[in-house]
Amino acid sequence: MERYHPLLELAPRDVVARAITHEGMDGPVHLDMRHVAAKGMDLKARFPGISAFLAKYRLELGRDLVPVGPAAHYMMGGVRTDTHGRTSMQGLYAAGEAACTGVHGANRLASNSLLEGLVFGALAAETMIAESREWGAGKEERGVDVVASSGPATGEAATEKWIKELRALMWKDAGLLRDANGLERAKRGLEALAATMPRGLYRRAVEARNLHTVAGLMVASALGRKESRGAHYRNDFPLRSEPARHSVMERGTLTLV
Protein backbone atom coordinates (compact mmCIF):
# COMPACT_ATOMS: atom_id res chain seq x y z
CA MET A 1 0.00 0.00 0.00
CA GLU A 2 2.96 2.34 0.38
CA ARG A 3 2.91 2.67 -3.42
CA TYR A 4 -0.67 3.97 -3.40
CA HIS A 5 -1.40 6.09 -0.34
CA PRO A 6 0.43 7.42 2.76
CA LEU A 7 -2.27 5.98 5.04
CA LEU A 8 -1.51 2.48 3.72
CA GLU A 9 -4.37 0.04 4.40
CA LEU A 10 -6.27 2.77 6.27
CA ALA A 11 -6.64 4.78 3.05
CA PRO A 12 -10.17 5.40 1.70
CA ARG A 13 -11.81 2.13 0.75
CA ASP A 14 -11.95 2.92 -2.96
CA VAL A 15 -8.18 3.53 -2.98
CA VAL A 16 -7.50 0.23 -1.19
CA ALA A 17 -9.89 -1.65 -3.50
CA ARG A 18 -8.19 -0.28 -6.62
CA ALA A 19 -4.77 -1.08 -5.16
CA ILE A 20 -5.83 -4.69 -4.60
CA THR A 21 -7.14 -4.81 -8.17
CA HIS A 22 -3.84 -3.50 -9.55
CA GLU A 23 -1.71 -5.85 -7.44
CA GLY A 24 -4.01 -8.80 -8.18
CA MET A 25 -3.11 -8.63 -11.86
CA ASP A 26 0.29 -10.14 -11.00
CA GLY A 27 -0.87 -12.77 -8.52
CA PRO A 28 -2.84 -13.26 -5.30
CA VAL A 29 -3.07 -10.47 -2.73
CA HIS A 30 -2.93 -11.17 1.01
CA LEU A 31 -3.69 -9.39 4.26
CA ASP A 32 -0.73 -9.73 6.61
CA MET A 33 -1.49 -9.21 10.33
CA ARG A 34 1.49 -11.11 11.69
CA HIS A 35 3.33 -7.96 12.75
CA VAL A 36 0.27 -6.89 14.78
CA ALA A 37 0.04 -10.23 16.56
CA ALA A 38 3.74 -10.02 17.34
CA LYS A 39 3.04 -6.87 19.36
CA GLY A 40 0.72 -8.83 21.65
CA MET A 41 -2.74 -7.89 20.31
CA ASP A 42 -5.37 -10.63 20.71
CA LEU A 43 -6.77 -10.60 17.18
CA LYS A 44 -9.41 -13.24 17.92
CA ALA A 45 -10.86 -11.05 20.65
CA ARG A 46 -10.50 -7.87 18.59
CA PHE A 47 -12.02 -9.38 15.42
CA PRO A 48 -14.25 -12.29 16.55
CA GLY A 49 -16.46 -12.32 13.45
CA ILE A 50 -13.76 -12.52 10.80
CA SER A 51 -11.73 -14.86 13.02
CA ALA A 52 -14.64 -17.32 13.21
CA PHE A 53 -15.13 -17.08 9.46
CA LEU A 54 -11.45 -17.72 8.74
CA ALA A 55 -11.41 -20.69 11.12
CA LYS A 56 -13.75 -22.51 8.72
CA TYR A 57 -10.92 -22.44 6.21
CA ARG A 58 -8.20 -23.24 8.77
CA LEU A 59 -6.85 -19.71 8.60
CA GLU A 60 -5.93 -17.49 11.53
CA LEU A 61 -5.26 -13.75 11.75
CA GLY A 62 -1.78 -13.12 13.02
CA ARG A 63 -0.53 -16.51 11.86
CA ASP A 64 -1.46 -16.82 8.18
CA LEU A 65 -1.45 -14.67 5.10
CA VAL A 66 -5.16 -14.17 4.38
CA PRO A 67 -6.16 -13.97 0.70
CA VAL A 68 -8.28 -10.89 -0.05
CA GLY A 69 -10.14 -9.47 -3.03
CA PRO A 70 -11.76 -6.09 -3.78
CA ALA A 71 -15.49 -5.55 -3.54
CA ALA A 72 -17.55 -2.64 -4.88
CA HIS A 73 -19.62 -2.26 -1.71
CA TYR A 74 -18.89 1.42 -1.29
CA MET A 75 -21.07 2.69 -4.13
CA MET A 76 -23.28 5.75 -3.72
CA GLY A 77 -26.42 6.82 -5.51
CA GLY A 78 -29.96 5.59 -5.73
CA VAL A 79 -33.43 7.04 -6.06
CA ARG A 80 -33.34 10.83 -5.92
CA THR A 81 -35.32 12.22 -2.99
CA ASP A 82 -35.87 15.38 -1.03
CA THR A 83 -35.04 15.58 2.68
CA HIS A 84 -38.34 13.89 3.57
CA GLY A 85 -37.90 10.87 1.31
CA ARG A 86 -40.25 12.05 -1.44
CA THR A 87 -39.40 10.97 -4.99
CA SER A 88 -40.68 12.27 -8.31
CA MET A 89 -43.43 9.63 -8.21
CA GLN A 90 -46.41 10.35 -5.98
CA GLY A 91 -46.73 7.82 -3.19
CA LEU A 92 -43.18 6.46 -3.61
CA TYR A 93 -40.67 7.23 -0.86
CA ALA A 94 -37.08 6.12 -0.42
CA ALA A 95 -34.67 6.22 2.51
CA GLY A 96 -31.30 4.80 3.48
CA GLU A 97 -28.98 3.27 0.92
CA ALA A 98 -31.79 2.96 -1.63
CA ALA A 99 -31.96 6.76 -1.78
CA CYS A 100 -29.60 9.46 -3.03
CA THR A 101 -29.67 12.20 -0.41
CA GLY A 102 -26.10 13.43 -0.88
CA VAL A 103 -24.90 12.72 2.65
CA HIS A 104 -22.10 10.51 1.33
CA GLY A 105 -20.74 12.90 -1.27
CA ALA A 106 -18.49 11.29 -3.87
CA ASN A 107 -17.17 8.66 -1.48
CA ARG A 108 -18.92 6.64 1.15
CA LEU A 109 -18.29 7.61 4.76
CA ALA A 110 -18.12 4.69 7.18
CA SER A 111 -21.26 4.33 9.37
CA ASN A 112 -22.99 7.23 7.61
CA SER A 113 -25.47 4.73 6.15
CA LEU A 114 -26.69 3.95 9.68
CA LEU A 115 -27.29 7.63 10.43
CA GLU A 116 -28.87 8.04 7.00
CA GLY A 117 -31.37 5.27 7.75
CA LEU A 118 -32.19 6.65 11.19
CA VAL A 119 -32.67 10.26 10.07
CA PHE A 120 -34.24 9.94 6.65
CA GLY A 121 -36.09 6.74 7.53
CA ALA A 122 -37.92 8.56 10.32
CA LEU A 123 -38.57 11.62 8.16
CA ALA A 124 -39.91 9.47 5.31
CA ALA A 125 -42.19 7.55 7.66
CA GLU A 126 -43.60 10.74 9.17
CA THR A 127 -44.16 12.19 5.71
CA MET A 128 -45.87 9.03 4.46
CA ILE A 129 -48.31 9.12 7.36
CA ALA A 130 -49.04 12.81 6.88
CA GLU A 131 -49.50 12.58 3.12
CA SER A 132 -51.14 9.17 2.82
CA ARG A 133 -54.65 10.63 2.85
CA GLU A 134 -53.82 12.85 -0.12
CA TRP A 135 -52.71 10.14 -2.53
CA GLY A 136 -54.27 7.08 -0.91
CA ALA A 137 -57.80 8.03 -1.95
CA GLY A 138 -56.86 8.42 -5.62
CA LYS A 139 -57.03 5.73 -8.26
CA GLU A 140 -54.15 3.31 -7.91
CA GLU A 141 -51.89 3.05 -10.93
CA ARG A 142 -49.85 -0.05 -11.59
CA GLY A 143 -47.01 -0.44 -14.02
CA VAL A 144 -47.01 -3.35 -16.47
CA ASP A 145 -43.96 -5.59 -16.55
CA VAL A 146 -43.84 -6.33 -20.27
CA VAL A 147 -41.06 -8.89 -20.02
CA ALA A 148 -42.73 -10.82 -17.21
CA SER A 149 -46.05 -11.04 -19.05
CA SER A 150 -44.69 -12.00 -22.49
CA GLY A 151 -44.26 -15.74 -22.82
CA PRO A 152 -43.57 -18.59 -20.39
CA ALA A 153 -41.44 -18.10 -17.29
CA THR A 154 -37.71 -18.73 -17.59
CA GLY A 155 -36.39 -21.71 -15.67
CA GLU A 156 -34.56 -21.01 -12.44
CA ALA A 157 -31.29 -22.55 -13.63
CA ALA A 158 -31.32 -20.41 -16.78
CA THR A 159 -32.08 -17.32 -14.71
CA GLU A 160 -29.12 -17.97 -12.40
CA LYS A 161 -26.86 -18.48 -15.43
CA TRP A 162 -28.09 -15.17 -16.89
CA ILE A 163 -27.43 -13.31 -13.62
CA LYS A 164 -23.93 -14.79 -13.47
CA GLU A 165 -23.21 -13.52 -17.00
CA LEU A 166 -24.51 -10.06 -16.09
CA ARG A 167 -22.35 -9.89 -12.98
CA ALA A 168 -19.24 -11.04 -14.85
CA LEU A 169 -19.83 -8.44 -17.56
CA MET A 170 -20.24 -5.60 -15.08
CA TRP A 171 -17.25 -6.63 -12.97
CA LYS A 172 -14.98 -6.83 -16.00
CA ASP A 173 -16.02 -3.70 -17.89
CA ALA A 174 -17.79 -1.44 -15.38
CA GLY A 175 -16.03 -2.31 -12.15
CA LEU A 176 -13.40 -0.56 -10.09
CA LEU A 177 -11.24 0.47 -13.06
CA ARG A 178 -13.23 1.92 -15.94
CA ASP A 179 -12.55 3.44 -19.35
CA ALA A 180 -14.58 4.31 -22.42
CA ASN A 181 -13.73 1.11 -24.31
CA GLY A 182 -14.75 -1.14 -21.45
CA LEU A 183 -17.92 0.80 -20.71
CA GLU A 184 -18.94 0.66 -24.37
CA ARG A 185 -18.37 -3.10 -24.30
CA ALA A 186 -20.54 -3.30 -21.18
CA LYS A 187 -23.25 -1.29 -22.93
CA ARG A 188 -23.26 -3.65 -25.92
CA GLY A 189 -23.20 -6.64 -23.61
CA LEU A 190 -26.23 -5.37 -21.70
CA GLU A 191 -28.08 -4.83 -24.96
CA ALA A 192 -27.33 -8.43 -25.92
CA LEU A 193 -28.45 -9.74 -22.53
CA ALA A 194 -31.72 -7.81 -22.87
CA ALA A 195 -32.73 -10.20 -25.66
CA THR A 196 -32.67 -13.14 -23.24
CA MET A 197 -34.05 -11.33 -20.19
CA PRO A 198 -35.52 -13.84 -17.69
CA ARG A 199 -39.32 -13.92 -17.71
CA GLY A 200 -41.72 -14.65 -14.88
CA LEU A 201 -42.89 -13.14 -11.62
CA TYR A 202 -40.91 -15.32 -9.24
CA ARG A 203 -38.37 -13.52 -7.10
CA ARG A 204 -35.11 -14.24 -8.93
CA ALA A 205 -36.55 -13.39 -12.35
CA VAL A 206 -37.75 -10.03 -11.04
CA GLU A 207 -34.38 -9.45 -9.37
CA ALA A 208 -32.61 -10.30 -12.64
CA ARG A 209 -34.56 -7.65 -14.53
CA ASN A 210 -33.89 -5.12 -11.77
CA LEU A 211 -30.17 -5.92 -11.92
CA HIS A 212 -30.20 -5.27 -15.65
CA THR A 213 -31.91 -1.90 -15.13
CA VAL A 214 -29.42 -0.82 -12.46
CA ALA A 215 -26.49 -2.03 -14.57
CA GLY A 216 -27.68 0.08 -17.49
CA LEU A 217 -27.96 3.14 -15.26
CA MET A 218 -24.45 2.57 -13.91
CA VAL A 219 -22.88 2.21 -17.34
CA ALA A 220 -24.67 5.26 -18.77
CA SER A 221 -23.70 7.37 -15.75
CA ALA A 222 -20.07 6.20 -15.85
CA LEU A 223 -19.82 6.98 -19.57
CA GLY A 224 -21.29 10.43 -19.02
CA ARG A 225 -18.93 11.33 -16.17
CA LYS A 226 -15.60 12.03 -17.86
CA GLU A 227 -13.60 12.39 -14.65
CA SER A 228 -12.56 10.43 -11.59
CA ARG A 229 -14.22 11.43 -8.33
CA GLY A 230 -14.42 9.44 -5.12
CA ALA A 231 -15.50 5.87 -5.80
CA HIS A 232 -15.89 6.49 -9.56
CA TYR A 233 -12.52 6.02 -11.26
CA ARG A 234 -11.78 6.14 -14.98
CA ASN A 235 -8.35 5.22 -16.28
CA ASP A 236 -8.84 7.53 -19.27
CA PHE A 237 -9.94 10.47 -17.08
CA PRO A 238 -7.94 10.07 -13.82
CA LEU A 239 -8.41 13.68 -12.61
CA ARG A 240 -11.42 15.46 -11.16
CA SER A 241 -13.18 18.14 -13.17
CA GLU A 242 -14.76 21.09 -11.42
CA PRO A 243 -17.36 21.89 -10.32
CA ALA A 244 -18.68 18.79 -8.53
CA ARG A 245 -21.98 17.64 -10.02
CA HIS A 246 -24.54 14.89 -9.54
CA SER A 247 -25.41 12.39 -12.28
CA VAL A 248 -29.20 12.23 -12.66
CA MET A 249 -30.89 9.69 -14.94
CA GLU A 250 -34.56 10.30 -15.68
CA ARG A 251 -36.58 8.55 -18.38
CA GLY A 252 -33.43 7.37 -20.09
CA THR A 253 -31.77 10.79 -20.20
CA LEU A 254 -28.60 11.56 -18.25
CA THR A 255 -27.91 15.04 -16.96
CA LEU A 256 -25.13 16.35 -14.71
CA VAL A 257 -26.53 18.89 -12.27
Give CA torsion, residues 79, 82, 87, 91, to 10 deg.
130
Catalytic residues, by residue number, are: 13
Residue 127 to residue 93: CA distance in whole angstroms: 9
